[in-house]
Amino acid sequence: MNASPSKEPLDPRDRPARLTVGVVGAGRVGPALAASLQLAGHRPIAVSAVSDASVRRAAALLPDVPVVPPAEVLERAELVLLTVPDDVLPGLVEGLAGTGAIRPGQLLVHTSGRYGVGVLEPALRAGALPLALHPVMTFTGTSVDVQRLAGCSFGVTAPEELRLAAEALVIEMGGEPEWIAEEARPLYHAALALGANHLVTLVAQAMELLRTAGVAAPDRMLGPLLGAALDNALRSGDAALTGPVARGDSGTVAAHVAELRKHAPETVAGYLAMARTTADRALVHGLLKPELAEDLLGVLADEARTDGCTGGGDR
């Protein structure tokens, strides 16, 4: 008996689509999420885009999907992704609800980290099913984002009766759902911004200072160091602290501040704030010896007063 021929993997485009998907706001996030849903068998059917960059992004990640006004996106789609800036979201929802664009039973998903489902209350009154699915990832606006969603955590907030649906959508996009209570969304988002956004600022400043110091490839120098520091911090928390502040080397810290004042005065305030926070945490966790902490904290206080008197980077 001949073995039956092996079946070729089913092309996502040949799968029966379960939901039609629309995107309102073709920034870096929306097209990537829609492309991920397409891989899971859903069908992107409409996208709204205003700037030339967003139109190009939509064309690259969602080819052949028409660009239409937001109200028309809602008219066509069963699942609508609202991927607009946080400050725009409340007014957008109010406007769509006020014009009658929202249909009863329509899944309305926003990707803001700041908000839960409360911001979708006007849509809920119109009969929509509200979900907050925030991907914990930095996006580039290119196809690489779709790959990065594999294993990415999503902050999920939804009414209890929609919890399974919300988690299923995240899993279909390759993500890992993490339930966030409505009242905890602002704190959750602040934690992510503190860790990710400020990290970018710190790394960019460090690279600029290394270039000033004559390092030709600061990215190559910092890569292994920062990778190891991040890995250690995720594994060990404050126990991973190293460097002059954790050791209590007040003379080295004073020398750092003097050099920063000379070459990059705009970085002094940030250095002092992070050094003080690092010293406090190192002291609490027993890494910084109390007898060394007094001199170090004195130096930081003196430097902070000097920075305040000179106006820091505003000179």
pLDDT values of the chain reduced to their tens digit, one per residue, 315 residues: 444 444 444 444 444 448 999 999 999 999 999 999 999 999 999 999 999 999 999 999 999 999 999 999 999 999 999 999 999 999 999 999 999 999 999 999 999 999 999 999 999 999 999 999 999 999 999 999 999 999 999 999 999 999 999 999 999 999 999 999 999 999 999 999 999 999 999 999 999 999 999 999 999 999 999 999 999 999 999 999 999 999 999 999 999 999 999 999 999 999 999 999 999 999 999 999 999 999 999 999 998 888 766 655 443
Q: Which of 164, 180, 196 is the last residue of a domain?
A: 180
Residues 108 and 243 in one domain: no
**Residue 64: inside a domain, yes or no?**
yes
Evaluate whether 261 touches 267 at the Cβ level (below 8 Å).
no
**Residue 294: inside a domain, yes or no?**
yes
Residues 138 and 71 in one domain: yes
User: 42: Cβ–Cβ under 8 A, 6 or more apart, which residues?
Assistant: 17, 18, 19, 20, 21, 79, 172
**Which domain covers residue 52, as residue numbers?**
13-180
Residues 196 and 259 in one domain: yes
pTM of the model: 0.85
Residues 175 and 202 in one domain: no
> CA 59 to CA 55: how far, in whole Å?
6
Residues 135 and 242 in one domain: no
Q: Which of 180, 204, 238 is the last residue of a domain?
A: 180
Residues 141 and 286 in one domain: no
**Structure confidence at residue 18 (pLDDT):** 86
Both tokens assigned to 164: 């399974």
Helix (H), strand (E) counts: the chain: 14, 7
Written as one letter, the residue type at 81 is: L
Residues 144 and 29 in one domain: yes
Give how far Cα 275 sits from Cα of 57, 254, 293, 300, Å.
41, 11, 12, 8
Residues 123 and 27 in one domain: yes
Overall domain count for the chain: 2
Residues 167 and 280 in one domain: no
**Residue 247: inside a domain, yes or no?**
yes
Residues 166 and 198 in one domain: no
Q: Which of 161, 180, 199 is the last residue of a domain?
A: 180
> CA 224 to CA 231: how far, in whole Å?
11
> CA 288 to CA 281: how far, in whole Å?
9
**Residue 1: inside a domain, yes or no?**
no
- The values of phi and psi at residue 39, to 5°, are -60, -25
Residues 171 and 54 in one domain: yes
